[in-house]
Amino acid sequence: MRVCALVVRIWRQFLHDKRTLMLMLVAPILILTLVSLVFNGNTYKPKIGTVDVPAMVTQRLAQEDVSLVSYSSTNSALEALKTQTIDAYISWQDGRPAVVLEGSDPSKNKAILLDLQQMAEASSPGPTGIQPKITYLYGSAKMSSFDNFGPVLIGFFAFFFVFLVAGISFLKERTTGTLQRLVATPIRRWEIVAGYVAGFGLFTTIQAILIAWFCVDILGMMMNGRLINLLLITLLLSITALTLGTFLSSFANSEFQMMQFIPLVIVPQVFFSGLFNIDTMAVWLRWLSKIMPLYYGADAMRNVMIRGKGFTDIVMDLAVLLAFSLVFMVLNVLTLRKYRHV
Amino acid sequence: MFGKGSREEGWGIQVSHVDRKFGKRLVLQDIDFEVKPAEIFGLLGPSGSGKTTLVKLMAGIDRPTSGTVVVGGVQMPRLDMLGKIGYMAQSDALYAELTAKENLDFFASLFGLRGRGRRRRIEEVMELVHLTDSMKKRVSTYSGGMKRRLSLAIAMLHRPRILILDEPTVGIDPALRVSIWNELRDMSQSGTTILVTTHVMDEAEKCHRLGMLRDGRLIAVGTPGELKASTNVTTIEEAFLAFGGVRG
């Protein structure tokens, strides 16, 4: 009987906490849906550029599962490669194909090499087959998957921990009543938000330096760009996480409810941040990645760490992150109205 | 600087026809009274009667649904008035992971106190609440009474012209309660207007004037003597019941 009473009580508690209830039901469905969409995507169809390739070879290539684009010169093909409109290009040098791969994603590299191999075997059955000469624009044959998704993980950890820690500490401010006391002083609402951003910003800079140092020097992650750019990305990413965390914390009443934002806010971002190949997803899903801060952070991270790009190449990503932060800051200031009307 | 009052005159509070609704729930209904300059005004009422809601309106952190609250000649809420009001909420609202000194430093700097003056004032208020020896201890190691006292010290830190205390003496031992009340009386004599809420009836006797709050309505206002006399009873508790009975 006592067990029954306990069961009834727990059920009632759930029914009174609609949010926890919804989370238990909706979040697993959401995540499973995302996972299935991500892993059931079509196999990647490499985009290969061709420069002066004999018609016979082009016809043969077209039979593989690739999309071909013809370029007039190696220069224009290289340009396309740099902007990532194609994944590799083939030109003809000394009577044999020369392949240049974009190279920053090992799984794409493998897909292209496999296609070329099949083509080579099919076109000349003898051992004198056309052996392509292969070079990489970025990355190398030795590049591991970790080098590829490592930068994303750095961004992810910066984002995740700041989100949680800042969110919970702001929540505690509310639940212990110190926020009430804070708003009874002449402090302005934006000052509270700015104080949080500055305080945590300083802390996360230290955190970013530590993570970057550990990944590059200890774990030997590929690092071709400048450290200062990496730190800049991490800082902006954490400010976005901080402002989002503190904003969302005003919709949570306990630490536990704050945790409930993880599957809703953090997990989807992981799927769309480039850990998995976004190009194989449905188009409308790809569009989702555009509203996720981690997508921009990860893109900039990869550009700096793998492709060794400089500030001018990541400035767009940084601007988007900054815009996200500003929007969340304004929302923070507005929600603080709940606690003081001036 | 702000408003019309000066230190000698003290500041009053005028609450005129105030309603406060949360959604459809009417928490305060047509509240109308005045706190005179430099008096100790007690708000008496059971929990849930709307005391804290009323106090927040006067502290300038909430806005009435209708009616006006005027403090020191200025209609609330106004940001620049917050530096002139000391507000101690019902919860202790302290950063438990910090020391008492660090808490005081934080709030003192929010009120713009700095340098030598700040250090002196912090020592003064801590002496007042008998916490000088525990200044460097973490608040998490404090007892309930100590936290309450520290909370009070913070509210008095910036020498506010109006001190609003929500249940100030809960969990404080009788000897200290007496010394806190003596301090409040001293402050009122030097011109500070003090508003306290309480549900302890014997404490209500110590106020100059009282407002009795029940179910969001102000059922009586007057000196403790007047309230007892008009209902023909000998204690405040009986007076409260009598006023409540009339309306209820």
pLDDT at A35: 54
- The answer to whether residues B40 and B188 touch, using CB atoms and an 8 Å cutoff, is yes
Strands B209-214 and B217-222: antiparallel
Average pLDDT over residues A117-133: 65
Nearest to B83 among A176, A186, A341 (CB): A186
Q: CB-side exposure of B248: number of CA atoms within 13 Å?
A: 10
Neighbours of B97 (CB within 10 A): 10
Within A207-289, strands assigned E span none
Sign of the CA dihedral B157, B75, B46, B20?
negative
Is the Cβ pair A186, B96 closer than 8 Å?
no
pLDDT at B28: 94
Tokens 């023909």 correspond to what residue? B232
Per-residue tokens: A69: 């684009």
**Confidence category of residue A27, pLDDT binned at 50, 70, 90:** low
State how far the Cα of A157 lies from the Cα of A275, in Å rounded to an integer.
Answer: 13
Neighbours of B112 (CB within 10 A): 11
- Which residues of chain A lie closer than 8 angstroms to B62, CB-CB? 340-341
Average pLDDT over residues B52-81: 90
pLDDT at A42: 59
Peptide bond into B77 cis (omega under 30): yes
pLDDT at B20: 94
B contact residues 68-127, partner A, Cβ 8 Å cutoff: 77-80, 82-83, 85, 87, 89-96, 107, 110-112
Per-residue DSSP letter, B222? E
Residues A341/B1/B2/B3 CA torsion (nearest 10 deg) = 170
Helix, strand, or coil (residue A141): coil
CA distance B155 to chain A (A): 9
Query: How far apart, in Å, are the Cα atoms of B146 and each of A234, B125, B154, B238?
Result: 42, 13, 12, 32
Strands B74-75 and B66-71: antiparallel
- Which residues of chain A lie closer than 8 angstroms to B63, CB-CB? 341
Mean model confidence pLDDT for chain B: 87
Q: A189-213 vs A311-335: helix axis angle to the nearest 10?
A: 140
CA distance B107 to chain A (A): 8
Per-residue DSSP letter, A48? E
Q: Which residues of A touch B (CB under 8 A)?
A: 176-178, 180-188, 339-342
| Residue type at position B191 | G
pLDDT at B3: 40
Per-residue tokens: B91: 């919860």
Per-residue pLDDT tens over the stretch B115-162: 899 999 999 999 988 899 999 998 989 988 889 889 989 999 998 999
- The secondary element (H helix, E strand) that includes residue B14 is strand B13-22
| Helical segments of B38-194, H only | 51-59, 100-110, 115-128, 144-156, 174-189
From the number of C-beta atoms within 10 Å of its C-beta (0-12, 13-18, 19+), residue A332 rates as buried
Residues A120/A122/A127/A133 CA torsion (nearest 10 deg) = 0
Between A20 and A73, where is the model more confident? A73
Nearest to B111 among A185, A339, A342 (CB): A185
ipTM score for this prediction: 0.82
pLDDT at B5: 42
- Largest alpha-carbon pair distance within chain B? 56
Q: Which residue of A has its CA nearest to B91?
A: A177
pLDDT at A4: 38
pLDDT > 70: percent of chain B: 95
- The secondary element (H helix, E strand) that includes residue B145 is helix B144-156
- The answer to whether residues B35 and B41 touch, using CB atoms and an 8 Å cutoff, is yes
Which of these, B145, B151, B204, lies nearest to B171 by C-alpha position? B145
pLDDT at A7: 46
- Which residues of chain B lie closer than 8 angstroms to A185, CB-CB? 82-83, 107, 110-111
- Which residues of chain A lie closer than 8 angstroms to B83, CB-CB? 185-186
Task: Determine the residue among A168, A178, A336 to mutate to test chain B binding: the one whose Cβ has the most chain B Cβ atoms within 10 Å.
Answer: A178
Per-residue pLDDT tens over the stretch B158-183: 989 999 998 887 777 888 888 888 88
**Confidence category of residue B91, pLDDT binned at 50, 70, 90:** confident
**Confidence category of residue B7, pLDDT binned at 50, 70, 90:** very low
pLDDT at A129: 54
State how far the Cα of B34 lies from the Cα of A30, in Å rounded to an integer.
Answer: 57
User: pTM (2 decimals)?
Assistant: 0.77
Is the Cβ pair A177, B83 closer than 8 Å?
no
- Checking if the pLDDT of B33 tops 90, the result is yes
- Checking if the pLDDT of A318 tops 90, the result is yes
- Which residues of chain B lie closer than 8 angstroms to A183, CB-CB? 61
Q: Which residue of B has its CA nearest to A189?
A: B79
- The answer to whether residues B139 and B96 touch, using CB atoms and an 8 Å cutoff, is yes
- Which residues of chain A lie closer than 8 angstroms to B112, CB-CB? 186
Average pLDDT over residues B206-222: 92
Is the Cβ pair A342, B79 closer than 8 Å?
yes
pLDDT at B248: 39
- Which residues of chain B lie closer than 8 angstroms to A180, CB-CB? 61, 89, 91, 93
Tokens 């206002």 correspond to what residue? B221
Q: A106-123 vs A55-63: helix axis angle to the nearest 10?
A: 120
Is the Cβ pair B107, A341 closer than 8 Å?
no
| Residue type at position A46 | P
pLDDT at A119: 76
Task: Determine the residue among B20, B53, B61, B107 to mutate to test chain A binding: the one whose Cβ has the most chain A Cβ atoms within 10 Å.
Answer: B61
Nearest to B80 among A177, A186, A339 (CB): A186
Is the Cβ pair A184, B60 closer than 8 Å?
yes
Nearest to A188 among B79, B91, B111 (CB): B79
First to last CA, chain A: 54
- Checking if the pLDDT of B246 tops 70, the result is no
Per-residue pLDDT tens over the stretch A266-304: 888 888 887 777 777 777 877 888 889 999 999 999 899
Q: Which of A132-146, A182-196, B29-43, B195-209 has the highest mean pLDDT?
A: B29-43
Between A151 and A232, where is the model more confident? A232
- Which residues of chain A lie closer than 8 angstroms to B61, CB-CB? 180, 183-184, 339-341
Which of these, B188, B190, B210, lies nearest to B201 by C-alpha position? B210
Per-residue tokens: A21: 């209830």
CA distance B10 to chain A (A): 20
Task: Determine the residue among B21, B55, B58, B82 to mutate to test chain A binding: the one whose Cβ has the most chain A Cβ atoms within 10 Å.
Answer: B82
Neighbours of B62 (CB within 10 A): 22
Per-residue pLDDT tens over the stretch B67-89: 999 998 889 888 888 889 999 98
Nearest to B59 among A182, A184, A339 (CB): A184
Nearest to A184 among B87, B90, B112 (CB): B87
Is the Cβ pair A185, B83 closer than 8 Å?
yes
**Confidence category of residue A331, pLDDT binned at 50, 70, 90:** very high
Is the Cβ pair A341, B62 closer than 8 Å?
yes
**Confidence category of residue A124, pLDDT binned at 50, 70, 90:** low
